[in-house]
Structure 1
């Protein structure tokens, strides 16, 4: 009987600690989010050299080339993540079919 009471008390303590940790993790996440928002407002989209090289109307072709390069560099990681996601999805689907 005492053993079951000890288990119940330890379970209650764990639940109290879990509930206490939920509030603190939410507060720390909120602090991190606010810090990221406020400290990222001063960031510029381009470096000073890129901006100086592309300033003016005569550099339209260079500006288009830089923008296309940025898009190309941005697309590659998204494609890799999508391909890995599809492979993982297929793996789980094949496991489900084998289990049935």
Structure 2
């Protein structure tokens, strides 16, 4: 089975597996793990800067009236 994995170790584990479901699961797991830090940074950034973001949008709306 030809594997499309994100790293060499995952590709080796995927190619040595007997069923295709484990390879799909490995790749999906990698994608989830890769996305979680970006989601956390986005949420924490919004919570930290929400007053400044709101002020920016209010000021922007006042300018373009």
Please, what TM-score do these two structures have when normalized by structure 2? 0.54
Identify unmatched segments of 5+ residues in structure 2.
Answer: 1-5, 57-65
Q: Whose RCO is larger (CA < 8 A, sep 6+)?
A: 2
What is the root-mean-square deviation in Å for CA atoms of aligned residues?
2.7
Unaligned runs of 5+ in 1: 1-44
- Find runs of 4+ consecutive structure 1 residues off by over 2 angstroms: 50-53, 56-59, 93-96
Structure 1 residue corresponding to 2:39, chosen from 79, 89, 100:
79
Render the CA deviation track for 1:46-99: whole Å, top value 9, x for unaligned. 224x32321278431111110111011112101111112211331325678xxx
**Higher-Rg member (1/2):** 1
Q: How many residues align?
A: 51
